[in-house]
Structure 1
């Protein structure tokens, strides 16, 4: 029995030795073998898409302005005047705005003017132009209509419409409107309104410094503008 146990111990030692040698051999072989080389590819960096360009609001009342009575539609008319070409004349009683072309002609636009008690007259100049202007009602208007917003950002829902031309140091403007059905009426607090399509056209023709003559309501001369086309 003693000899058998001794034999088993020798076999176990031999097996352990063989295992140790194999492990060392494997480690040496693994260390000596070159590491596998994998190809390295650069992953292209994709650029982030640029943010979409915010386009200006579009004028959308072209079709609605076409529904205006013929006399209120934009047209070239005969208009004899001594005023220089480029002058704006507001015919308050007849709700017209004339842009003088010279040579006895003018472009006539239908407009909305001040309601009773809010018309005015005189000579001013355009001191500022703005596209899709913000609206800040003056204190006098807030006092009369306290429900009005204190400030409204420009846009299609803004009462000043697509363009505004500011008159001197007054609170009055020539501007567009989101209610083209009011053209030809006495409706405002003194400002002069055109359809958005018409105010964009006028805006493109005038510059800061343009002379503006506003005729009084009492000037009841006959309408001088007869259509040329």
Structure 2
């Protein structure tokens, strides 16, 4: 009888860093002015970080990795198709109060994890689809994953999140540095198509999509907060304010 030893998983040095960040984010609930909203956002953050930690501690081979990627792609496609169904069949996207139903200023994701969090969830499926579109050997498979990437990009555009669109651009640029050089030309071509689609949506905002991206008054009060912060900096920046 032979004993089988399972090789220990090498712990990535980023795992304790992310766990420390998660603990600090959780502590912010103690001084939050809106604890319920903070807890809701913390749960989303915790789910992402803990998923990363569990994956880092798991033994992964090519088969498991392939299945995980397929699951991510399937989830991204289903979510985006739900957004298209809302847009074309259900009268539009819901507003912040999802139970009310479609609203003129509704955004894709209000009835899910939120229109600012949803693009983050769609980034990984987008990167997986783009990577496969330029690295797989079969032309039909490359074309299929290019269509999936375009579909998921449409989902990100439907959220109306400027940060999500910027993150998608950064993710595509980062992907260009890690894929084989022979695939970079194809990625550049797909990127040009994606930018063209995004530009057309921003300019013409069909069916009301991407209207928020071109509105100059939709800063959610950020500029006011920044001005107040700059004014208070000489007093509080050197020593801080309270626990923060």
TM-score range, shorter chain: under 0.3
Greater C-alpha Rg: 1
Instruction: Select the structure that is richer in helix.
Output: 2
Greater relative contact order: 1 or 2 (C-alpha under 8 angstroms, separation 6 or more)?
1
